[in-house]
Structure 1
């Protein structure tokens, strides 16, 4: 089977990469960007540095700085209004996954119009304004994917939207922008990256290109995530996590995520749990349920993450993997749904709809063990009890 690989046209990785934005815009023949970012990026000064670089290069620009966590169709529309008010030829995204996904949505709607729900999977959109992505969290990998997740304000559904129109033409991966990330964000986005790599490796759409990238990312994350959380100024750990996040994005963008992400989106939509944290809540239990269908693959993951050795047979390695993932989530103080503050009645009442939405996302169909709705409901129940 032929692997279909899609990546950004330009990829700059390393300290200071974000300051090359004006040069890269010009090299791509672009001169009128809309900057899409969030209030924190303005407050901490990163947006100001970006604007200064655009001004110094004589590039006309506007800015939308009101991105919200877990972007909604309302917030996308607000950004689109700013885009439509100017003669923009590109979108520069600065921030975490929410800002990057908002920018992708704006880039597509700015060219094609319509409503965001017109572009949710299984629809595919293959063109849009050029997006240049500058991630400031080591987690989503959105700078290297052709996907965006937008919540429909009217229905509450977290919609997965895909297509080459959402693939950034350039990604500027600068780990120095992550030095201000707090502990919880570092932990949750780091586990999000781990899920990307792990799911890509066991996905039914895995291929030799993504396998090598996914395993490298898993090894890096297992080595450096705890340090990045405990020592936020540790540049070696921050740099490693930032690169692993981009690698995880490359891996899942070309092999797909699986059941964890499928089940994660409804948790975010119903209870406003940050995406990385909802993945972390699910990671150990969903992995334990899926392991019997891909023992060899999961055993390889365990060995690459240092949770098992070559002396362990595959069954033992898988047991150690599940134990290791539980230990990681415990060490990083990942709360379960109950500890997060979700009411028990609200959780259990929503399970049938959550399971339906998880299946509708398409991601569970790539899982080594394909679930039915009843399986997903049972897993949500297990996650509550964990």
Structure 2
């Protein structure tokens, strides 16, 4: 079997890392930035921390901020048109997964116009050319969109999330600057952090996992267990913020290359149909689906228990799996994640439609234990 690993050309880490931006723009021979971000990041001054670096270096830019939390086909089309009119030669993506995913779609379509309908990018599109150069600066510690070859766009007409997988979309440069995350609200810190934990756990147990990906995912679980609660409760704690920023990137390095599972398969329709934030959906589903998957991945669950620091000598694999599931559940509770779909407005009559969509999701086949619509429906019922 041949395993592939795709990563950024260059990445920078650490508080204040955004200061390297001018030297990288110069090194790549770029001239004008198309800034893909969202209105809240502009409103609360987070984007300005990056834009100030551009201004001081006299690098011109144009802002595109029409990006929704679950970006849509319409968002992308508007962005492609705005980029074409801007005269920019690279995209500067500032934000969480929504901004960076939108940037990826804009960059891919600009250099591969035959995919201008956007919906044809779903799955593994055979694009011919690399994206417009993207420099990504994440403002959340969760999606790891800055290092993945995936992006997710909502097809609003068909109410579905399209998972697009394409090595040509990976940002040329990732700048992971924890200072951009200090003002992240408590709830969003918790949800995105649990999203990163979901990536690490699903990436560890997915069918495509192998030794190299396992190494990264185990380390990510260790770091998230160590830093997430502190990052939620002490938002300007530099060690915790930087620890989470690095941990989510490490998780992304691996899951991007090996795939995910049914947690994401079930979370995507919750976002597409009911606009539930992706991190919240993943976090709510994770413990229940971990419990379901345990029999198919017991050795990996021993590793999870060790990384979560709940393994004790003499435990059987089954006991270690139970301890791992409990540890994830307890962490989720401590950081304030909702525990039931009904808290988010989901009703029993919605579940059949959700299960149908989850069954067809591109992430679901990677699950270590086989599922079908009936099993997925039962899993939704458990968390209702």
Length-normalised TM-score, structure 2: 0.95
Q: CA deviation at 1:339?
A: 4.9
Looking at structure 2, the residues matched to 65 and 325 of structure 1 have their Cα atoms a distance apart, in angstroms, of 35
Of residues 283, 286, 291 in structure 2, which corresponds to 1:288? 291
Distance 1:310 1:205, change over 3 A: farther
Q: 1:42, CA displacement in angstroms?
A: 1.1
**CA 257–271 in structure 1, closer or farther in 2 if over 3 Å, else same:** same
Partner of 1:116: 118
Mean CA deviation greater in 327-336 or 146-155:
327-336
Is the 2:341–2:383 Cα contact (8 Å) retained in structure 1?
no
Partner of 1:127: 130
In the other structure, the counterpart of 2:16 is: 16
**Shift of the alpha carbon at 1:337?**
4.0
Q: What is the alpha-carbon distance in structure 1 between the residues aligned to residue 180 and residue 367 of structure 2? A: 34
Mapping for residues 191-340 of structure 1, pairs under 5 Å: 191-340=194-343
- Partner of 2:229, secondary structure, is helix
Structure 2 CA distance, aligned partners of 1:361 and 1:272? 16
Following TM superposition, by how much is the alpha carbon of 1:33 offset from its aligned partner in structure 2, in angstroms? 2.1
| Gap regions ≥5 residues in structure 2 | none
Residue by residue, what CA displacement relative to the aligned partner does 1:112-154 show, whole Å, maximum 9, x if unpaired? 2221111001434362211110001111111100111110121
3-state SS of the aligned residue for 2:146?
helix
2:190 is aligned to: 187
- Cα distance, 1:207 vs structure 2: 1.5
Distance (Å, rounded) in 1 between the aligned partners of 2:331 and 2:208: 27
C-alpha deviations, 1:95-121, integer Å up to 9, x for none?
Answer: 111111111111112122221111001
Q: CA RMSD in A?
A: 1.5
Q: Deviations over 1:12-70 (max 9, x none)?
A: 01111112212112112222221101112212223233333223333332111222101
Question: Matches of 2:285 and 2:320 in 1, distance apart?
Answer: 20
Moved more, 326-335 or 185-194: 326-335
Q: Deviations over 1:271-292 (max 9, x none)?
A: 1110000001100111100100
In the alignment, structure 1 segments of 5+ residues that lack a partner are none
Whether the 8 Å CA contact 1:214–1:247 is kept in 2: the answer is yes
What is the distance in 1 between the residues matched to 2:346 and 2:140?
30
2: CA distance, partners of 1:80 / 1:310 = 56
1:98 is aligned to 98
